[in-house]
């Protein structure tokens, strides 16, 4: 059942979807938030939003009620009140008292949940990657614009004063003409435990969990966290931690999507059921901008490059800049790598989102919906090159591969009835 049908058959009045979220919130009015998906990153969303002034997390939404109830109990112990526990996100979207939804579901739900929320008049904070496939990104952008919604992508580094200063310094020429960047994605990931197909737990609405994804029998192999390592629900490490680094790479180089990409890697450590690669190296050429990028994904034991495990190195004609995590940079100049400017400062991404929800000044939003599309799409392009096992030419204007029907077929996820992601003209 799609969201519009759900509205018509639910107890809520059909007009709710049109009325929800249309009010303008003053500086002292309370913003009411529902967090969708509370097993993993949703816990960070709760902890990041609830402490903000005049913000209340009022609903915890998860198809697994056991998870949602556990989080509600933790919330009550910490904050002294118990948020509502809801299994189906559509009931939250049809509630006119909810102003914001914060989406921390598995990847395959991110785009559709965002589009539904925009249609319902809600502002959205959506976890990275914004999309599970390239085609979803344009639909997200169209929905945000059509319904005049604020959509913040969960790439926290964009709200660090240090990283914003670093990007301005690159633009101002601190390391000269920047020609290359290297994204480092080094995470400690153990082997996966094997589990059989079985009946889902009584508290889990598994059909709802699958939603717009491809149907697979229930198994603890992918429910909950290990969906990251399946192509049907996740995007591997490059589409997990890697989206932070890819977003920054695009920002610092001043690029969006490449014109040519190659990728190689695979599984070298674990004989488990992981489908996505443990190791991945992708090379990207940006013809129009004359820029080049290297992307490195590594699991398990690893040296840290430039003393950094997750970050970026930008290379210019006068030196290089190391971005460490979400909140620190250091410049090194000349052949002798003489230390240059540096800074470390905390990220304030939830704060930026809430500020713009109140002001409606889209230009002040640090991680707008377009960044969700492009940074996620770069991961998808690299993954497609890996899966095809060849160099691929890509047209950034049409956002399609050149002369490769098999690669282009990977741009769109198959849809399930009732959970179709609409095309941009249908949002």
Task: Read off the tokens for 65.
Answer: 């009620």
Task: Read off the tokens for 139.
Answer: 């639909």
CA 385 to chain centroid, in Å, comes to 20
Q: What is the CATH number of domain 163-193+207-345+377-409?
A: 3.30.360.10
Please say whether the beta carbons of 262 and 293 come within 8 A.
no
pTM, two decimals, is: 0.94
List the beta strands (DSSP E) in 334-415.
338-344, 392-395, 400-401
**Which of 32, 351, 348 is closest to 162 using CA atoms?**
348
Q: What is the largest CA-CA distance in the chain?
A: 70
**Taking the domains of the chain in order of start, what are their residue ranges?**
3-157+350-368, 163-193+207-345+377-409
Query: Are 3-157+350-368 and 163-193+207-345+377-409 the same fold in CATH?
Result: no
Distance CA 270, CA 191 (A): 6
Please give the C-alpha separations between residue 96 and each of 11, 25, 91, 293, 362, in angstroms, as whole numbers: 13, 13, 10, 45, 23
Please say whether the beta carbons of 176 and 316 come within 8 A.
yes
Distance CA 235, CA 227 (A): 9
List the chain pLDDT tens, one digit each, 427 residues.
555 555 444 433 333 344 344 567 777 899 999 999 999 999 999 999 999 999 999 999 999 999 999 999 999 999 999 999 999 999 999 999 999 999 999 999 999 999 999 999 999 999 999 999 999 999 999 999 999 999 999 999 999 999 999 999 999 999 999 999 999 999 999 999 999 999 999 999 999 999 999 999 999 999 999 999 999 999 999 999 999 999 999 999 999 999 999 999 999 999 999 999 999 999 999 999 999 999 999 999 999 887 788 999 999 999 999 999 899 999 999 999 999 999 999 999 999 999 999 999 999 999 999 999 999 999 999 999 999 999 999 999 999 999 999 999 999 999 899 999 999 999 9
3-state secondary structure of 29: coil
Q: What is the CATH number of domain 3-157+350-368?
A: 3.40.50.720
Give me the sign of the Cα torsion angle 366, 370, 376, 382. Answer: negative
């Amino acid at each position: 059942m799609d969201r519009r049908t759900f509205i018509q058959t639910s107890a809520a009045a059909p007009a709710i979807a049109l009325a929800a979220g249309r009010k303008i919130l003053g500086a002292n009015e309370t913003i009411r938030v529902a967090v969708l998906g509370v097993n993993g990153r949703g816990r960070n969303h709760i902890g990041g939003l609830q402490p903000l002034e005049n913000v209340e997390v009022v609903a915890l939404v998860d198809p697994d009620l056991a998870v949602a109830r556990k989080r509600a109990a933790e919330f009550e112990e910490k904050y002294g009140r118990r948020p509502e526990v809801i299994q189906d996100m559509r009931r939250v979207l049809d509630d006119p008292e909810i102003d914001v939804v914060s989406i921390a579901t598995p990847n395959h739900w991110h785009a559709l949940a965002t589009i539904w929320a925009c249609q319902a008049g809600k502002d959205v904070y959506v976890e990275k990657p914004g999309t599970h496939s390239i085609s979803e990104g344009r639909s997200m952008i169209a929905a945000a614009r059509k319904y005049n919604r604020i959509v913040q992508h969960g790439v926290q580094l964009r709200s660090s004063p240090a990283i914003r200063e670093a990007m301005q310094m690159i633009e101002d020429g601190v390391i000269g003409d920047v020609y290359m960047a290297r994204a480092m994605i080094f995470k400690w990931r153990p082997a996966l435990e094997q589990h059989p197909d079985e009946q889902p737990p009584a508290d889990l609405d598994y059909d709802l969990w699958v939603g717009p994804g491809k149907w697979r029998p229930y198994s603890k192999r992918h429910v909950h966290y290990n969906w990251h390592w399946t192509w049907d629900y996740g995007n591997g490490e490059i589409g997990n931690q890697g989206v932070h680094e890819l977003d920054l790479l695009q920002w610092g180089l001043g690029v969006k999507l490449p014109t040519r990409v190659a990728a190689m890697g695979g599984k070298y450590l674990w004989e488990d059921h992981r489908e996505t690669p443990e190791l991945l190296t992708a090379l990207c050429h940006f013809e129009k901008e004359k820029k080049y990028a290297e992307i490195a994904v590594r699991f398990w034991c690893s040296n840290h490059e430039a003393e950094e495990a997750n970050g970026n190195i930008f290379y210019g004609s006068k030196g290089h800049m190391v971005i460490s995590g979400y909140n620190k940079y250091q410049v090194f100049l000349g052949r002798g790598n003489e230390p240059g400017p540096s800074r470390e400062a905390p990220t304030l991404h939830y704060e930026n989102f809430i500020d713009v929800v109140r002001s409606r000044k889209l230009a002040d939003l640090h991680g707008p919906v377009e960044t969700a599309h492009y940074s996620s799409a770069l991961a998808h392009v690299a993954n497609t090159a890996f899966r095809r096992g060849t160099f691929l030419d890509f047209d950034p204007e049409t956002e399609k591969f050149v002369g490769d029907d098999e690669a282009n077929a990977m741009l769109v996820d198959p849809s399930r009835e009732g959970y179709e992601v609409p095309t941009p003209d249908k949002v």
